[in-house]
Structure 1
Amino acid sequence: MSSNHDKTHAESEFHSHDSHHKHHHDHSHSPKVDETNRNRVGIAALLTGLFMLVEVAGGYISGSLALLADAGHMLTDFAALGMAWAAFKLAKRPANWRHTFGFDRFSILIAFVNGLTLFVVAALIVKEAIERLHTPGEVLAGPMLYVAIAGLIVNLLVFWILRGADQHNLNIRGAILHVLGDLLGSVAAIIAAIVIFQTGWTPIDPILSVFVALIILRSAWVLVKDSAYILLEAAPEHIDRRAIIEDLLAHIPDILAVEHIHAWSITPERPMLTLEAFVGPNTRIEPVSQAIKTRLKEKFEVEHVTIQVMRRVEGEALNPANSCVP
């Protein structure tokens, strides 16, 4: 940064960071965790875990890869939902001197791990399906059909439970993606059972298992991408610092320049932003600071903002390169 800029910092009579703390930082950095999310995830985990045992038994008795694949997916679902429940529980802990933003980011880490487990599950299903295609085995269509129908009912119930939770939460989205994979697995198992019952053509079982695995892979990619985006401190999708600069300069006449904008998210529901704004030597600082905070909240839906407003010394040239960095 230039010496002029350092001089500006030194000679600034006031900046809005302190006043901003009075307005925004008096709240706890630990988010208010929705009890509905946690309770719904807990119920979904219990139902998934119990039926997973039924599906393992049904797949073993019937010899169906589709059922065993779905049971394996349900095992990861049970673990994923359990970790999601634990993440919601942990997120209730208040912020402390070491974890100043609280523990809500833990839920993003869990979502990332859940996405990686989906990749592993899909790979195992494809591997087993290839082996089954080379060495077909007997499949009992009757038991397979009954268990698959029961699985479809359970998965629909779990899906309905999770749909009532917060759809913006990555942990909830991850849990729903897992359950959707289970739903498709149950549908595939039902179709395979009907085909085998009617025609005796057993390769349909591993073929539909691969179809389910491909859908699981797509879900895994979406979940890993979204959670990694947050873990890497990328700017939220709806925040473009170039648009923020243009908007603030257009709507707050006292601002001469906006520089050093940094935006990131603790979770999708908690975007954060810091910036520096420069005003004329005789401009009151506090009204400009408040106007910036209000505009960012109304236009860009960012409530947690740290702003430093400084006066330009007379004769100091503006640096448009700093204020308009793409």
Structure 2
Amino acid sequence: MGHGHGHGHRADADRRYLAAALALLLAFMAAEVVIGIAANSIALISDAGHMLTDAGAIALALVAMRMAARPARGAYTFGWKRAEILSAAVNGLTFVALVAYFVYESVRRLIEPPEVAGALVFGTALAGIAVNAVAAWLIARADRSSLNVEGAFQHILNDLYAFVATAIAGAVVWLTGWGRADAIAALVVAALMAKAAYGLLRDAGRILFEAAPDGVNPTEVSAAIIAHASVTGVEDLHVWTVTSGFPALSAHVTVMPGGDCHRVRRELAELLHQRFHIDHTTLQVDHVPGTACHMITG
């Protein structure tokens, strides 16, 4: 009961941090759109578009956190815990769409550079750095072991780096009049977004396709189970991740005749916890000749 109570407080605190970051970003984004249009800056507009996805990512994260907290019932025996993984995947896909647009627009402006108000770009970018630094600090205080929260954090962190690039570009345009610097800054933003998209889609994909948890080798798990003195074999071994921080395992284990199935099950569950950090295990333990022990979940 104490664990659940603590987890509830943690989730409430995470939602407050995300909500505060969302309010901050929305307020600044509205101002940046107006300034970006006035300054004719693709770098500022790309940053504003990035901030829109930041806000969307945080809003989606908040919805996913509420869905994931729903208890398991009916047909949903794991509850809605995969909601946060779907949220992370959507975040990654929005990055891909924005990368395509900003690369296209930046290349067009490299070929035909427009007039850009460098001083306005520089000042707005400095303000954006401050706003994103505060937002990143807020989200960093939440539980980043959640792929959902990590996805929102990556959005903010990339936007912070993007504003640094935009500030440099604004200073170059302001001091030298070289308008192409603005388009180059937007390409830097696109490169950062592509990197973040790859990481999010890779991690979300591993969970959605039920790959083994990162750092857990099924071959090593099988070898560790078979190494038990009473175990003669292991079949139908599956290791996957239900959601962030929730690895699971199921297997059919056979033990030598006369072996204590219940003792072996308890010892294997402890082994999996200590060595591989897997707590949700379903082990069907039987004697070799076919004298069955019933399935026990730990």
Please confirm whether the aligned pair reaches a TM-score higher than 0.5, indicating the same fold. yes
Secondary structure (helix, strand or coil) at the match of 1:239 reads: coil
CA RMSD of aligned residues (A): 1.6
**Counterpart among 288, 295, 304 of residue 271 in structure 2:** 295
Residue 212 of structure 1 deviates from its aligned partner by 1.4
2:244 corresponds in structure 1 to: 268
1:179 corresponds in structure 2 to: 156
- What CA distance in whole angstroms lies between the structure 2 residues aligned with 1:208 and 1:238? 36
**Counterpart among 141, 156, 159 of residue 133 in structure 2:** 156
TM-score by length of 1: 0.84
Q: Which has the higher contact order (CA 8 A, sep 6+)?
A: 1
2:76 corresponds in structure 1 to: 99
- What CA distance in whole angstroms lies between the structure 1 residues aligned with 2:221 and 2:39? 60
State the aligned residue count: 285
Residue 241 of structure 1 deviates from its aligned partner by 2.0
Is the CA contact (8 Å cut-off) linking 1:51 and 1:154 kept in structure 2? Answer: yes
What amino acid does structure 1 have at the position aligned with 2:154? L
1:89 corresponds in structure 2 to: 66
- What CA distance in whole angstroms lies between the structure 1 residues aligned with 2:152 and 2:211? 23
What amino acid does structure 2 have at the position aligned with 1:271? P
2:295 corresponds in structure 1 to: none
- What CA distance in whole angstroms lies between the structure 2 residues aligned with 1:177 and 1:113? 13
**Counterpart among 165, 181, 193 of residue 188 in structure 1:** 165
What amino acid does structure 2 have at the position aligned with 1:138? E
Residue deviations 1:156-186 (CA, integer Å, cap 9, x gap): 0011111112222111111111112211221
1:11 corresponds in structure 2 to: none
- The worse-fitting range, judged by mean Cα deviation, of 35-44 and 71-80 is 35-44
1:282 corresponds in structure 2 to: 258
Residue deviations 1:246-276 (CA, integer Å, cap 9, x gap): 22232x2111112211011111300010011
1:305-320 → structure 2 map (5 Å cutoff): 305-313=281-289
1:15 corresponds in structure 2 to: none
Residue deviations 1:138-173 (CA, integer Å, cap 9, x gap): 111222222111111000001111111222211111
TM-score by length of 2: 0.92
Residue 281 of structure 1 deviates from its aligned partner by 2.0
**Counterpart among 29, 33, 40 of residue 63 in structure 1:** 40
Is the CA contact (8 Å cut-off) linking 1:279 and 1:311 kept in structure 2? Answer: yes
Unpaired stretches in structure 1, ≥5 consecutive residues: 1-26, 315-326
- What CA distance in whole angstroms lies between the structure 2 residues aligned with 1:43 and 1:99? 32
What amino acid does structure 1 have at the position aligned with 2:249? L
Is the CA contact (8 Å cut-off) linking 1:38 and 1:89 kept in structure 2? Answer: no
**Counterpart among 44, 48, 52 of residue 21 in structure 2:** 44
- What CA distance in whole angstroms lies between the structure 1 residues aligned with 2:102 and 2:42? 8
Q: Larger Cα Rg: Structure 1 or Structure 2?
A: 1
1:230 corresponds in structure 2 to: 207
- What CA distance in whole angstroms lies between the structure 2 residues aligned with 1:240 and 1:188? 40
Unpaired stretches in structure 2, ≥5 consecutive residues: 291-298
Aligned residues with identical type, % of pairs: 35
